[in-house]
Structure 1
Amino acid sequence: MNKQELYSEIEKLRKNKAITWGPPYDAKVLCTTKFHLFFELLDIETPQLRGMAHIPSHSVVIDAKISPPEINFHCMHEIMHHVFHSDRPTKIYNTYDDTQANQDPFIEWQANEGAAQFLVPYQRFIPDYIKTARECAHNAFPDIDTEDFLSQKYFVSSKVIHNRIESLNYEIYQYLNGVPIETIDVRSKNYLQKNGWDLRHDKRYCKKCLAPLKNGDKYCQICGCFLDDGHFLHQLRTIGKGAGYMEYPGIELDEKDRAIECPVCHNTELYSKGRFCIICGNSLVNLCSAAQEPFDSSCQNNDPLPGNARYCPFCGAESTFFQKGILPHWNENSEEIDNDGELPF
């Protein structure tokens, strides 16, 4: 059973048990009312032992010393053992903080991933995660605040939310790139590793305009904000990390970093080797304006800039596309800007 098949079984289980409402779920209540299992909290003395599923007695036992969100997840984990593993020779399943040497890692993965999908279904979680990440994007520690908020919303620990974000990295990446949640392709980490897929959904971004950043950027290419003077604490005010970023549209470029059509006269009949429009003479390449000035030595960056860059990432000077009015100000005509000129996330 792979990840996609497991998630499909969880949704069938939810339907068969007539669980028609959304999260948060109280696993203790579901344990007794929907799965008809006995539930008990005990003060377990065995180190790191957090719960147990006893198949013959149809019971679930959870350590009373852990927090309510942890109890909720471990209870659902043990329920998954009853659902998927009751016909196996093993009749007692113990849950520890970490998988033990004598445990079957695949069986524990099924129970763990099944519990995660039941309590934190990706169909609801991914849109919630992106929305919350953008709301927390300006905070000093956006990732931590996002995980804390979602842990309360789904009644699980921050660790579970963190693991959920990592487990769903591929699915979140698709959603951020325009794939509808209903058609997202679900894949396991093993599958992705075998097929050489290693991209990340989260990015470094400017906390002022939320634009993604590249390594080495001193200035934001969208809003021109000075980002990095080398001081870690100063970076906390200017650079975020996570899924709370925004992509800004710009002039579409070809593989040679030239505009596909002239951004001034919109001529599409371009000379294959030229960098200027053959009709109006406008540059088809976005460059640092300071580097184009013959007596300005403040910037030596003559490499083409992205089609949406308003500023040079090395010196902070305006780009030629922005200087000529081809690109608007980053917050111009935005319906998402509040009265202070800041994004409301």
Structure 2
Amino acid sequence: MKIPTYARYDYCAKRACDFLEEYNISSYPVDVEKIITDNKWGLTPYSLIMQQFHCDRNTVIRCLRSMDGYTQLDDDNYSIAYNDDPELGDRKRFTLMHEIGHIYLNHLVDFDITLLYRNELSKKENKVLENEANAFARNVLAPISLVRQLKDKAPENISSKFGITYYAANTRLDLFKKDFEIIDSIGLQQRMGNIFRKFYNKTTCSKCNAKFFLRYRNFCPICGSKNTLKWGDGIMDYKEYETTVEGFVETCIRCGNKKIMGNYCQICGAPARNYCTNYFWSEDNYQACTHSEPLPGNARFCPDCGAKSLFFHHNVLNAWNIEYDQFMEEETLEVNIPTTSDGFMTIPNEQPKKLPWGDNIDEELPFN
């Protein structure tokens, strides 16, 4: 098969969509090295090649014919080498995804002359394959469906959110319209939306670690804390009592009555629907909360104004930390603490992992 005359940008967009689905990409910046490790592909920095062959970086670049990265196929095994020169800055993520692009687009398999033999490629052929790998990389690392949701589309914000260089962020903006038209023309908009639907709504509270698939803005409905809601995966699924479409619990939370008739249990008087008390009790007050919809069955507080929920006000729900402390105690009991031969506990020499949303996440992002 011959290398096409022009880059197949529609094919690259489709394969990027396939990749996002196959690897279940739902958090950004993408952990590219994990993808390489999970596939058991080789990964070698140029500095290690320099050390092994006692040469300088320019020699490696000249031999591999690539300033940034190089992919090789031996039998069924792929190996990726990349330039780890500190002066290149935060370029590694795009370089590695570019090389994955060569693999995922079958550049080293489909064509008679491949990147494995770069000295046999003409400049035009090489440019076609490089453009395809670049298109694949930008559509995986900074998908159109997410970039368009950013309120602040400045290159520095895109660079920060998706973990790419300022230059790559500028390129993403320059080619935004072109990629959008391609994705729209081949019918990928709905598919891309399905991939990121849960990603848009994924939220956690940094205080009580609750996880949500609803977008709350102001107050955490579990612990009532303000400005603690961030994008990411929480660890706590606080018990939520099932409700009907109208918001009624089918079984009384307090006494277990299964024949509730009205807004309150006729046996123990517990409320059957969860509301914001600020709205429920202060209808004549112009400062009352406007949250008129029933709250989830596990909400202790209103996510709009922070007032207690009706369930929590009537002690139908316990304080959040009771459930949290019980969960943490059970987790602690399951942890096997490593010890030395004389019985002393060993402390792993690990740095705490950074939260996936970073320190300066834009709270206006719809996928926080």
**Coarse TM-score class (shorter-chain normalised):** 0.3 to 0.5
Q: Which has the higher helix share?
A: 2
User: TM-score, normalised to structure 2's length?
Assistant: 0.45
